[in-house]
Structure 1
Amino acid sequence: MKLIGSLASPYVRKVRVVLAEKKLDYQFELENVWVSETRINDVNPLGKVPCLIMEDGHSMIDSRVMVEYLDTLTPVCKLLPPNGRDRADIKCWEALADGVTDAAVLVRLERTQRPPEQQSEAWVQRQLHKVHLGLASLAEKLGDSPYCAGNHYSLADVAVGCTVGWLSFRFPEIDWRGDYPNLARLYDKLSERPSFRDTAPQ
């Protein structure tokens, strides 16, 4: 397999963490989708990373699709329950974490990709409101549990860890550590894992 992505993307990091946890071999190819010479559209018509190229040459898009598939390839470090409500609960954690990231990415794009005179502060504040509500919800759901799903490490932790790690990287002004000490404790614990330590955003 070949994973196409960047070192900064939280969505790419999520896939890289899962690949590491599952101990799967892959080739990592860096791609900057923002330069004119990018070839990402050759493999993903949406022009996004990550993109996973399978052994047969077909491409898989969307990090949520990728990690769910990768979890089926080996029994090592199962990150998703086999079915039912428990599985749906983990996927809801992932959806919420990704939603926080989605909103923050829109803020970053508004501030960095649009001329100042075309930027909408109302749009920025709308997205930041989603970020803060999402973080509050993640913290409330986590409570005093050692992991998002209770006592065991799962895809929920991978998703939440990649989200808050990226916020620290791109939005240091958002004091999620101070506001939500339980999320900070979780991320510090996750950061001790080689999968997280080796994929810190750059």
Structure 2
Amino acid sequence: MILIGQYDSPFVRRAAIAAVLYDLPFENRPWSTFGDGDRIAQVNPTRRVPALQLDDGGVVIDSANILDWLDGLQRERGAATLIPASGVERREILHLTALATGLSDKIIALFYEKVLHEQTSAIWLERCRAQIAASLEALEAARAVASTTWLRGEALTHADIALGCALQHARESSPDEVDWSRWPALVAHNAACEALPAFRAVYRAFTGPADS
């Protein structure tokens, strides 16, 4: 398998971390959506990452779909997955994952509004910042109330990975946008994730839009 995209993207990174944890071998092609758009378009017409090229020539696009595919491969092997196949626990993990990826969406939107537009939209910036603050509040509450190692117990899930990737990306790409002293549970979660071998193995420092 070939995973296309750079690890400074929280979406590419969470897919890669799951593959590492599942012991599924893959090659990473760190193509930039800016500098390598034409090459990405040959795999994904939307020119977005991540995209996963399969060994049979098929392609899976969007991180949620890629994770669903990887989960399926795990189940075929009779191995444990980072999310149950059904039930309330699956619903809760998906809910927390959506909050984390929503945070990443708004951090990215805020970053590009500031970097790519000479004249920014005050209304759009205010909206993004309000959505970021609300996401952080909900995620801080969820993490603070958890008495276990991870969000939903002692085992890592897709929600923990998505949140860890979102927090690291936010802290590197927009260090001036969030007062992290307000979110101690999230800071602790970020540190716990980054200490894991899989997170250390799948990392690229954020350097700006040319590499996104």
Fold shared by both chains (TM-score > 0.5):
yes
Q: Deviations over 1:118-152 (max 9, x none)?
A: x2122012111111110110111122423111332
Q: What displacement does 1:200 show?
A: 2.7
Q: Using the alignment, how far apart are the partners of 1:137 and 1:182 within structure 2?
A: 11
- Alignment TM-score, normalising by the size of structure 2: 0.88
What is the aligned counterpart of 1:196 among 187, 195, 199?
199
Verify: 1:86 aligned to 2:96, yes or no. Answer: no
Q: Using the alignment, how far apart are the partners of 2:167 and 2:197 within structure 1?
A: 17
Per the alignment, residue 143 of structure 2 pairs with 142
Per the alignment, residue 5 of structure 1 pairs with 5
Per the alignment, residue 33 of structure 1 pairs with 33
Q: Deviations over 1:23-45 (max 9, x none)?
A: 11001111111137631111111
Per the alignment, residue 127 of structure 1 pairs with 128
Structure 1: unaligned runs, 5 residues or longer: none
Q: Deviations over 1:142-193 (max 9, x none)?
A: 2242311133211110010000010111011244531111111112111111
The one-letter code of the counterpart of 2:127 is: R
Aligned ranges for residues 53-202 of structure 1 at < 5 Å? 53-74=53-74, 75-76=78-79, 78-114=81-117, 116-117=118-119, 119-145=120-146, 146-175=149-178, 177-202=180-205
Q: Matched residue of 2:28: which SS?
A: strand
In structure 2, relative to structure 1, the CA distance for the partners of 1:157 and 1:36 (3 Å cut) is closer
Q: Using the alignment, how far apart are the partners of 2:36 and 2:163 within structure 1?
A: 32
Q: Is the 8 Å Cα contact of residues 52 and 66 (structure 2) preserved in structure 1?
A: yes
Q: Is the 8 Å Cα contact of residues 169 and 201 (structure 1) preserved in structure 2?
A: no
Q: Is the 8 Å Cα contact of residues 23 and 76 (structure 1) preserved in structure 2?
A: no
Q: Using the alignment, how far apart are the partners of 2:85 and 2:132 within structure 1?
A: 30
Q: Is the 8 Å Cα contact of residues 101 and 163 (structure 1) preserved in structure 2?
A: yes
Q: Is the 8 Å Cα contact of residues 53 and 59 (structure 2) preserved in structure 1?
A: yes
Q: Using the alignment, how far apart are the partners of 2:49 and 2:141 within structure 1?
A: 30
Q: Matched residue of 1:168: which SS?
A: helix
Per the alignment, residue 209 of structure 2 pairs with none
Q: Using the alignment, how far apart are the partners of 2:36 and 2:5 within structure 1?
A: 16
Q: What displacement does 1:12 show?
A: 0.5
Q: Using the alignment, how far apart are the partners of 1:47 and 1:127 within structure 2?
A: 23
- Alignment TM-score, normalising by the size of structure 1: 0.92
The one-letter code of the counterpart of 2:49 is: V
In structure 2, relative to structure 1, the CA distance for the partners of 1:35 and 1:92 (3 Å cut) is same
The number of equivalent residue pairs is 200
Q: Using the alignment, how far apart are the partners of 2:140 and 2:83 within structure 1?
A: 21
Structure 2: unaligned runs, 5 residues or longer: 206-212
